[in-house]
Amino acid sequence: MRIAPTKEEEFQILEFDGDLSRLAYAEFFLYNLLKAVPSAFTRLDAMLFRLNYDSEILQFKESLQTLELGCKELRNRGLFIKLLEAILKAGNRLNAGTSRGNAQAFNLTSLRKLSDVKSTNGKTTLLQFIVEEVVRSEGKRCVINRNRSLSRSSSRSSNSSISSANAASREEREKEYIMLGLPMVGGLSSEFSNVKKAAQIDYEAFAGTCSALTARIAEVRMTTSQCADNGEGAFAREMKGFIEAAEEELKVLKDEQMRTMELVKKTTDYYQTGASKNKESHPLQLFLIIKDFLNMVDHVCVEIARNVQKGKHPLQVLAPHPSHQQHHRCQ
């Protein structure tokens, strides 16, 4: 917190024409300071702004970079897209026989509701089922790729023995799929580190940064002009270079901000057509939703790993609980 006299208090101190020895130490100090440098506090305020300017700009640039990298992460087709495709399939299965049973897309906000849809036993959620299916699929893909690396001759000679062994150890194979796929799905969050960081950006502060700094630069320019007019040319010359450089930098950053937010809009529309035009939605809503979803997936992966260690059987079927089926259909 900064404590400085108001303009009215400065005027009263400067107008004092009594015995200076009767002034308190604070007033005596201010009187002599303001007599020597009338614009002392205005200049101090400008110098403080200059001191903090670089750190504010650095934080702003980091936010721009985070948003751009977050959009890039979301544009990469990979395991995340497979999860979304699995969710769409599961939603169509739940809605089979209805007008929503052949959906081509769904509302991303429904990702947060996947834990609300439960099976008939009331224990398994739709999210758990989907994540385990993707984990199993990725693990199976790893096994297939590994087997392809074996020589054809070796594969042919042991074909019959492998077949019988597989038939006798289906449970072991399922466990292997889960154990191989878990690190891949469980590590998904690390691939979206910038998405998670973007979700934590204070959008109102971010959106107003350039305007606020530009306004402050204008105030500092006015201060230096007044100082120059009052014979304080040294201060004006000292601040001139900073002011001009800051004005140019802010123009560039304003354009960069517009470009970045346009990229955010395009990425949002990539996942949900027209979503960026919704005036009521948060401009960074996409990052917020996906951050929450990834946290949910992480939690489910921990549960799956715990169940495997306890020797529990993997999920095989999904039978939605009647009390939830109607309320949380994929849109």
Rounded-to-10 torsion of CA 170, 173, 179, 183: -120
pLDDT of residue 16: 78
For residue 251, name the pLDDT band (cuts at 50, 70, 90). very high
CB 17, CB 37: distance < 8 Å = no
Give the 3-state secondary structure of residue 250.
helix
Rounded-to-10 torsion of CA 113, 114, 115, 119: 130
Domain extents in the chain: 1-36, 37-72+202-283, 76-196+289-325
CA 4/CA 44 separation, integer angstroms: 10
Tell how far CA 6 is from the center of its chain: 41
Residue of 115 and 275 predicted with greater confidence: 115
CB-based burial of residue 287 (10 Å sphere; 0-12 exposed, 13-18 middle, 19+ buried)?
buried
Give the pLDDT confidence of 103-150 residue by residue, as tens digits: 666 788 888 888 887 776 677 888 999 999 999 999 998 888 888 776
At 125, give phi and psi (nearest 5°): -95, 160
Q: What is the largest CA-CA distance in the chain?
A: 112
Give residues with Cβ within 8 angstroms of 276, minimum separation 6.
Answer: 264, 265, 266, 268, 269, 283
pLDDT of residue 282: 87
Give the 3-state secondary structure of residue 31.
helix
CA 201/CA 210 separation, integer angstroms: 15
CB 308, CB 178: distance < 8 Å = yes
Percent of the chain with pLDDT over 90: 40
pLDDT of residue 105: 65
Residue of 207 and 107 predicted with greater confidence: 207
Give the 3-state secondary structure of residue 118.
strand
CA distances to 75, 134, 212, 302 from 78, rounded to whole Å, are 9, 12, 40, 21
CA distances to 91, 190, 289 from 87, rounded to whole Å, are 6, 21, 15
At 260, give phi and psi (nearest 5°): -65, -45
CA distances to 47, 48, 72, 258 from 60, rounded to whole Å, are 20, 18, 19, 13
Give the 3-state secondary structure of residue 119.
strand
User: Span 295-300, mean pLDDT?
Assistant: 94
